[in-house]
Amino acid sequence: MSELGGGADEALARAEELLERLQATRGELERLAAEENAEAAVDVLTELAEIAKEVESELSKARSRADAAGG
């Protein structure tokens, strides 16, 4: 990844962290679904949507920075 430049590497690392968080949160949603806890599941779905937006933002930053670095 170092050929992308420091800023792109940082954005990609942040996106990877967010993806791990997304997976953990999805696991929580599955647990709540098994418990039929609809109210808590809605809260987790909201959190998943927010994390997904953050991932999209970080990937966009990484693409822009890679393009700016001549990638």
Q: Where are the alpha helices (DSSP H) in the chain?
A: 6-34, 38-68
pLDDT digits (tens, 9 = 90+) for 43-52: 999 999 999 9
pLDDT score at 5:
62
1 has pLDDT over 60 = no
- Global confidence as pTM: 0.74
Give the CA angle between residues 54, 10, 12 to the nearest 5°: 55
Q: What is the mean pLDDT of residues 11-26?
A: 90
